Amino acid sequence: MRRPFSRPVTHGLATNRDTANLVVRLTDRDGVVGFGEGVPRSYVTGESLEGSQEFLTRRAPGLLLGRAIDSRRVMDFCREVIDDESAARHPAAVCALETALLDLAGRRRGLPCSALLAPGRGEPAGEVIYSVVVPIIDQPEAREAVLEAIAAAGFRQVKVKLGFAGDMEHLAWVRRRLGPEVDIRVDVNGAWSREQALGNLEQLALLGVSVLEQPVDPRDAEAWEAIAGAGDLRIMADESLCSLADARRLIAQGAVGAFNLKLSKLAGFGRCREIMEMAHAHGLAVQLGCQVGELGILSAAGRHFAAAAGGLLYLEGSLTRFFTRDIIAQDLTPGAGGRAPVLAGPGLGIDVDQSQLSAGG
């Protein structure tokens, strides 16, 4: 399904004016329904919407039709039947399928997905705290309006997109506008050269930046190592981290201090959890990010992951209604300070407007 944005969303890799998403609907023999969502982003993982659809059409029936799947072992089932190569090639499709199965299992058992993701760990957290992203905006008036809205909402964690002419002056303006108490991190989406990144490190430190995300092209391993050795700023990998194999390679290189996990980018809950545990075991921090254009199903999924996982450096997402019409009844937009309640209903705890799905969005 495709949905237009109310305004373009720009960063160093692309300008998105709409979003093309996968939505999976599964029904069991008793009529219980589960929903999942994925957002293919070819400029990140190489995955296309058409390829994702073809994968689901070809693989899903053989995996699911006529199968008795233990609702207590949905995560294990997904890990067993979908190999790492398929997950790396079709992460959004695998994410949508796994999420729909987890939603279905939760609805059958009357439990929220967060409880299924963290069995035996006690009650998940009662709320989570989101950060907010400042995209690349050309018009000064629009930039000022965004900063005013962020300050008024009381967000204390802000990510600023860089990677354009004059971006460091823009960052200095954001710092002045939001004040010294706000945690500011930056995301370049690989748009800087090695020389730009090294040249900007001192000013980033002076501006009190906490994290530098994806400063250079993921293919430039020498640049990553040079940047990591040039200062104390925590470096986070995003576009460099698209699979379990990438996670192992980055840990072995020792050039980054944090991972940006995204459910759709990394094939769902199971592999995100596996990478998170791997990262923590090696002293790396983890945030849960989101793909541009995530709708309500993925927003709910991210909230359940955050509630079950704990220990996240930052949490992003749940801002769908700022740029497009959502497909769920609930408004998951965070409240003051980025605070948002954990979803307590069965499964994902949301109601999907199926008329929008049948109409193709």
Confidence at residue 320, expressed as pLDDT on a 0 to 100 scale: 87
Beta bridge partners of 10: 15
Distance CA 339, CA 267 (A): 26
Question: What pLDDT does 76 receive?
Answer: 86
**Nearest alpha-carbon partner for 39 in 80, 3, 93, 83:** 93
Q: Report which of residues 123 and 234 the model is more confident about.
A: 234
User: Can you read off the two tokens belonging to residue 3?
Assistant: 């949905």
SS3 of the chain: the string is CEEEEEEEEECCCCEEEEEECEEEEEECCCCCEEEEEECCCHHHHCCCHHHHHHHHHHHHHHHHCCCCCCHHHHHHHHHHHCCHHHHHHCHHHHHHHHHHHHHHHHHHHCCEHHHHHCCCCCCCCCEEECCEEECCCCCHHHHHHHHHHHHHHCCCEEEEECCCCCHHHHHHHHHHHHCCCCEEEEECCCCECHHHHHHHHHHHHHCCEEEEECCECCCCHHHHHHHHCCCCCEEEECCCCCCHHHHHHHHHHCCCCEEEECCCCCCCHHHHHHHHHHHHHCCCEEEECCCCCCCHHHHHHHHHHHHHHCCCCCECCCCHHHCCCCCECCCCCCCHHHEEECCCCCECCCCECHHHHHCCC
pLDDT bin (cut points 50, 70, 90) of residue 79 is confident
Confidence label for 175 from pLDDT (cuts 50, 70 and 90): very high
CA dist 132 → 140, 149, 211, 298 (Å): 19, 11, 14, 17
Q: What is the mean pLDDT of residues 316-341?
A: 92
* Predicted TM-score (pTM) of this structure: 0.94
| Residue 242's pLDDT band (cuts 50, 70, 90) | very high
pLDDT mean over 19-31: 93
| Mean pLDDT estimate for the chain | 91
Average pLDDT score over residue span 115-131: 80
Q: Is the pLDDT of residue 53 over 50?
A: yes
Checking if the pLDDT of 109 tops 60, the result is yes
Binned at pLDDT 50, 70 and 90, residue 151 comes out as very high
Which domains are delineated in the chain? 2-110 (3.30.390.10), 127-348 (3.20.20.120)
